[in-house]
Chain A
Amino acid sequence: MRIVSHPILEFQKGRPVKFTFEGQELPGCEGEPIAAALLAAGIRVLRESPRLHRPRGFFCAIGNCSSCLMVVDGVPNVRVCVEPLREGMRVERQEGHGDIR
């Protein structure tokens, strides 16, 4: 899903990094939002709603709507549409409200 050539834009991407989604290793670019790397890999279901267990995905891309909350390196409720991707991040789908230790 990555755009390789564009009539107007050149994309300045960070260095290639690896991270895991539900234990599966995926490629991404350092510094891009985690959600961008997941969507580039075709992963669209990011969490489940707490009560009805409805799948939820990306929506606003400005950290405003809470649709994309995921568990990142064990920390729940991370807004992956604005959280920069780092090498080795462990990203998991969030179910429920998240366990805050």
Chain B
Amino acid sequence: MKSVEVAMVGAGPAGLLAALAAAGQGASVVLIERDERLGGQLIKQTHKFFGSERQEAGARGFMIARKLAEAVAAEPAIEVRLSSQALGYYSDRVIYLEEPNGLVKLKAERTILTTGAAERMLAFPGNDLPGVYGAGAVQTLMNVHGVRPGRRVLMIGSGNIGLIVSYQLLQAEVEVVAILEAAPYVGGYLVHAAKVRRAGVPILTSHSVKEALGDREVRGAVVCRLDSAWQPIAGSEVSFACDVICLATGLNPLTELAWQAGCRMVYVPELGGHVPWHDDDMRTSVEHIYVAGDCSGVEEASAAMAGGWLAGLSAAASLGHDRGGAELRKAAREELVALRAGPTGAKIRKGLEALSRAGGPA
């Protein structure tokens, strides 16, 4: 059986930073990734990041992924395992990995779960028809593989993902007929909303999809207005012709391993659903398991990177590694606070308060 001091499950922004942090403190690291490449969902992000220079502001996600992958490759203490799927976590701290050459058992003194999140489904008749696609999937298809999802897209959700993917569809010369938003206001940053509006895409607030049209594939959608209680207004239905209905209605944390490992789970809607309880050092109720990124609460990539960095430092410190770790951890916590400041961070702050009110590890 292989053994290592710290293992990360998932090599997206959180996992990459966690690996670099733990290795930088002197720990041996195994970075596990089920895909064939490092970077997670950063590889499909073509928009420029906000924030400070340290948070890679101005860089595009796929460029950040490339830079982080190079940093990981240059770090001899990190072993990367690609095409490696974590199947289970056992009480003796062993992770089972399914790899192209068979099963591998890995004993990790500390495990950091950085498994990310999955797209949330929306309930409406016809939502299983080919042509109803997740926004992340659309982004991967066109930005990584260079294939358009269709010709005319109806976007559901005006959060940052819905707005950004709409703009990216336009860049790929795909028509976006409209962006629907169930709330009476636009969910994402106004700078993104302004960009798609300038390009002529209407954002219809207090609107939702009532039904997908089409027999074998999506051919259109019935859209209706919603009242102040988010209920459909009778008689307000309009049909749109489209061949793709793109769902940007949020993400759910991917927490299977945390559940299976017996981490205490708390339901916090503001964080995307059930998330592992964790302390300020990203440690869960199972003392040798840490968590970071979307699986610890759905946010965006900058917070995932800062959280991953903090989790990597914390896990290394718990094993006695110390290369100025306490100072670095303090700085990382301050960075997270700064990222969540202001009105755009209100929801996540509320979620984290609820998590902390939920009490300690027991």
Contact = CB atoms under 8 A, between A and B. Distances in A.
Interface of A: 1-3, 6-9, 11, 13, 32-33, 35-36, 39-40, 44-46, 49, 54-65, 67, 81-82, 84
Contacts of B149: 1, 39
Contacts of A11: 145-146
Given A39-B141, A57-B217, A60-B136, A6 B130 contact: no
Nearest to A33: B145
Given A8-B171, A57-B217, A63-B34, A39 B134 contact: no
Main secondary structure of the interface of B (DSSP, over half): loop
Contacts of B145: 11, 32-33, 36
Nearest to B34: A63
Interface in B18-76: 34-36, 46, 60, 62
B131 A62 contact: no
B60 A8 contact: yes
In this complex, the member of A3, A61, A67 whose beta carbon has the largest number of chain B beta carbons within 10 angstroms is A61
A3 B172 CA distance: 7
Contact of B118 (A7, A49, A54, A60): A60
**What are the 8 A-B residue pairs with the smallest beta carbon separation, nearest first?**
A57-B130, A61-B137, A11-B146, A44-B130, A36-B145, A61-B140, A1-B148, A3-B146
Nearest to A64: B118
A33 B137 CA distance: 12
29 contacts: A1-B149, A1-B150, A2-B147, A2-B148, A3-B146, A3-B147, A3-B148, A6-B171, A6-B172, A8-B171, A11-B146, A32-B145, A33-B145, A39-B147, A44-B131, A46-B130, A54-B128, A55-B130, A57-B129, A57-B217, A58-B130, A58-B133, A58-B141, A60-B119, A64-B254, A65-B118, A81-B137, A82-B35, A84-B36
Given A11-B146, A45-B130, A59 B172 contact: no
A10 to B, nearest CB: 9
A36 B356 CA distance: 43
Interface in B80-132: 118-119, 128-132
B142 interface: yes
Interface of B: 34-36, 46, 60, 62, 118-119, 128-134, 136-137, 140-143, 145-150, 171-173, 216-217, 254
A44 B36 CA distance: 24
A69 to B, nearest CB: 13
Contact of B146 (A9, A61, A82, A84): A9
Contact of A3 (B62, B130, B142): B142
B146 A2 contact: yes
Nearest to A46: B130
Contacts of A3: 142, 146-148, 172-173
A38 to B, nearest CB: 9
B147 A40 contact: yes
B146 A13 contact: yes
B70 to A, nearest CB: 16
A14 B141 CA distance: 15
Nearest to A4: B146
B61 to A, nearest CB: 11
B137 A56 contact: no
A61 B134 contact: yes
Contact of A6 (B36, B146, B150): B146
Contacts of A61: 134, 136-137, 140-141
Contacts of A84: 36
A82 B85 CA distance: 13
Contacts of B216: 45, 55
A60 B108 CA distance: 30
